Structure 1
Amino acid sequence: MASITYDNACCVYPGAEKLAVDSLNLDIDDGEFVVLVGPSGSGKSTALRMLAGLEEIDSGQIRIGGSNMVGVAPKDRDIAMVFQNYALYPNKTVGENMGFALKMRGIPVAERKEKVAEAAKLLDLTDFLDRKPAKLSGGQRQRVAMGRAIVREPQVFCMDEPLSNLDAKLRVQTRSQIAALQRRLGTTTVYVTHDQVEAMTMGDRVAVLRHGVLQQFSTPTDLYDRPKNAFVAGFIGSPAMNLFTAPVRDGVIRIAGAAVDLDAESDALLRRSGLSSVIVGIRPEHLSLADSGDGINADVALLEELGSETYVYARIDDPDITPLDSDSKIIVARSPQRAPAKLGEGVRIRQTSTAVHLFDPSTGERLG
């Protein structure tokens, strides 16, 4: 086990105009589970491959346990990689697949069997050691790939979207198993995913990347409660945060005729900023349908029934506001009621909390 440091690490692909990873700085503690997350093309897989030695570091450093990895071959980094593709040998049994790397290192048969048996017990694979991969489910195959990494007892686990090939139910089950297993082993782990729910539920800390640049590196709770910029605010959370650029008049933000309620801290930040417009963010759980009184006037465009609750997507008619990442002025509110409205019906949406996020419209950075 070891700590990991990305120190202004950069990677650029031949012929590319922009860096795939641009001056990445991360300090990952010994035994920590860190998730790299971001949309396609954000540089998260490249950053992981740089750590594993599969991509060159064009400038800066990556250190494992204090040792600089620039120029060090992948086989000498004491890292075990788990890929999206299980990459199992179809003609070998589960036990042979798990122990193959040890065999190549010349580990005696008895020791090999002992290590494989210990890993199989951890992964509930003891009863499958004599089976071939074709006779296993997708989740079992992924656990075999995990076992192959575990028996090596590396300093670092690198996992590149290992759950992408699994169905939704199995993904939830397997991600909880991986997180629990990592905490039992205490091995430093860097995990790549494009799924922000996966990132939030698995990582001790999460690094959000965009266009190769680190946007924020923090705990899941901090990312959710205090996103550093509008991109992180819109990326973290499901459904996504409602984000609109809205005018500020006499210190008040209005959306479709309704004034946005701010807490004392946000109100002071807005007044000190002197901005004539601001990006305002409100999470769907802080909005609900109002029976009467003031609120945001909107027309229901979509209902998402989830059983225990309903998400209402409603279209706003307000020429003064601009949605951040969409052409349609849609606001999302959560309702504990089933079928609280009908499609096309006019509704009134009100705030249930002053937990409002404000961002500078020119930089996207959080106010304060």
Structure 2
Amino acid sequence: MADVVFDQASRIYTPGAKPAVDRLDLTVKDGEFVVLVGPSGSGKSTALRMLAGLEEIDGGAIRIDGENMVGVASKDRDIAMVFQNYALYPNKTVGENMAFPLKMAGLDKDARATKVREAAAILGLTDYLDRKPRALSGGQRQRVAMGRAIVREPRVFLMDEPLSNLDAKMRVSTRTEIAALQRRLGVTTVYVTHDQVEAMTMGDRVALLADGKLQQFATPADLYDRPDNAFVAGFIGSPAMNLFTVPVTERGVRLAGHEIGLPQDVRSTIGAQQLSTVTLGIRPEQWSVSSDGGEGIPARVDVVEELGSDAYLYGTLAESSGDLSATASLTGSKDDAVVVRTGGRSGARRGDRVALTPSVEGLHLFHPETGARL
């Protein structure tokens, strides 16, 4: 096992162009499960390939257990990588697929068989060692690919969207298996995904990238509760945080004609930066809902998602005298669309008028131009 350090590591595909990975600083502790997440083109897979030795490092360094990997061939880095497409040999059995890297490394037949049996027992594949990949489900094939990595006992596991080819139900069960397995083995693991729910449920810490830059590196709870900027706030959470550009008032901010008071220290921070507007963030669960005519901001319910234990109301805000007619946009514009989480069987229906009140304790404020947290 080992720690992994990205030290101002960069990858530039075209000279003079924007880096695919831009001066990435990241430390993965020995035995830690770290997830790289971000939208398409954010640089997460490139960063993983740089660590694997499949992409050059154009600036900075990457170190594994203190050893600089610049110029070190992939085969000499003592890493094992699991891809999304399994990459199994169709003409070999499960046992032969798992034993293949050991055979290439020169281990004798008995030693190979012992390691394969041990890995198969961990992964629940003992009864499938004599089967060919075509006789396995997608989740089982992915476990075989992981078993092939486990038998090598590498210093670092790298996983590049290994669950993307599985159906939704299989993804949930397999991600639980992977997380439990990693914690059992204690091997340093770097995992790439575009799915923020996957990232939040699997990683000890999560690194969120955008445009090749690290936006925030923290525990899932810290990413959710205290995002460093508006991008992180809008990316983490399902559904995402509600973000509104709102004017600053003497007592706080004004949202859809409703003044929301803010603590003095927050008002002082806004005043010190001489801001006339801020970006206000409110999580879907931080609203209270009352019937039309109650206290709060008037809103129309456009869509209701019933999820059993919870329900999500997608609607449109309006000022007290504003128009909530059926001609308004289904999802609203950037600054009047709202998502609210309520208890299951909320009773709300499309077209209902409700009043919304945000929890002041759960508000997030960001700079309207830089997006930085205030």
Q: Give 2:347's aligned residue.
A: 340
What is the distance in 2 between the residues matched to 1:140 and 1:362?
48
Larger mean CA deviation between 87-96 and 350-359 belongs to 350-359
8 Å contact from structure 1 (residues 300, 346) kept in 2: yes
What is the distance in 1 between the residues matched to 2:299 and 2:333?
17
Secondary structure of 1:87's counterpart equals coil
Residue among 332, 356, 359 paired with 1:349 = 356
Q: 1:30 to 1:200 in 2, by over 3 A?
A: same
Secondary structure of 1:290's counterpart equals strand
Deviation, 1:293, is: 3.3
What is the distance in 1 between the residues matched to 2:71 and 2:281?
45
Deviation, 1:263, is: 4.7
List gaps (5 residues or longer) in structure 1: 320-324
Alignment of 1:178-197 (within 5 A): 178-197=178-197
Q: 1:154 to 1:189 in 2, by over 3 A?
A: same
Cα distance per residue 1:96-132 (max 9 Å; x no partner): 0001010111110000000000000000000000000
Residue identity matched to 1:210: A
1:300 aligns with 2:301: yes
What is the distance in 1 between the residues matched to 2:144 and 2:219?
30
Deviation, 1:260, is: 2.3
8 Å contact from structure 2 (residues 10, 60) kept in 1: yes
Q: Give 1:144's aligned residue.
A: 144
1:278 aligns with 2:285: no
What is the distance in 2 between the residues matched to 1:168 and 1:363?
36
Deviation, 1:290, is: 1.4
What is the distance in 2 between the residues matched to 1:178 and 1:137?
16
Alignment of 1:61-140 (within 5 A): 61-140=61-140
Q: Give 1:227's aligned residue.
A: 227
8 Å contact from structure 1 (residues 358, 366) kept in 2: yes
Q: Give 2:325's aligned residue.
A: none
> Deviation above 4 Å: which 4+ runs of structure 1?
325-328
Deviation, 1:56, is: 0.3
Cα distance per residue 1:182-209 (max 9 Å; x no partner): 1111100000000111111111110000
8 Å contact from structure 1 (residues 8, 61) kept in 2: yes
Larger mean CA deviation between 28-37 and 349-358 belongs to 349-358
1:253 aligns with 2:253: yes
8 Å contact from structure 1 (residues 20, 211) kept in 2: yes
Q: 1:175 to 1:108 in 2, by over 3 A?
A: same
Deviation, 1:133, is: 0.2
8 Å contact from structure 2 (residues 281, 363) kept in 1: yes
What is the distance in 2 between the residues matched to 1:212 and 1:33?
21
Q: Give 2:336's aligned residue.
A: 329
Deviation, 1:347, is: 1.5
Residue identity matched to 1:248: V
Cα distance per residue 1:252-274 (max 9 Å; x no partner): 21111222243555344334443
Q: 1:144 to 1:20 in 2, by over 3 A?
A: same
What is the distance in 2 between the residues matched to 1:268 and 1:336?
36
Q: Give 1:322's aligned residue.
A: none
Larger mean CA deviation between 256-265 and 36-45 belongs to 256-265
Deviation, 1:54, is: 0.3
Q: What TM-score, normalized to structure 1? A: 0.95
8 Å contact from structure 1 (residues 315, 328) kept in 2: no
Larger mean CA deviation between 342-351 and 121-130 belongs to 342-351
Q: Give 1:17's aligned residue.
A: 17
Larger mean CA deviation between 243-252 and 262-271 belongs to 262-271
Q: Give 2:241's aligned residue.
A: 241
Deviation, 1:92, is: 0.2
8 Å contact from structure 2 (residues 305, 312) kept in 1: yes
8 Å contact from structure 2 (residues 307, 344) kept in 1: no
Residue among 352, 356, 367 paired with 1:360 = 367
What is the distance in 1 between the residues matched to 2:310 and 2:184?
35
8 Å contact from structure 2 (residues 244, 334) kept in 1: no
Q: Give 1:313's aligned residue.
A: 314
Deviation, 1:28, is: 1.0
Residue identity matched to 2:112: R
What is the distance in 2 between the residues matched to 1:283 and 1:45?
29
Q: What TM-score, normalized to structure 2? A: 0.93
List gaps (5 residues or longer) in structure 2: 323-331
8 Å contact from structure 1 (residues 242, 283) kept in 2: yes
Deviation, 1:153, is: 0.3
- Aligned CA RMSD, in angstroms, stands at 1.7
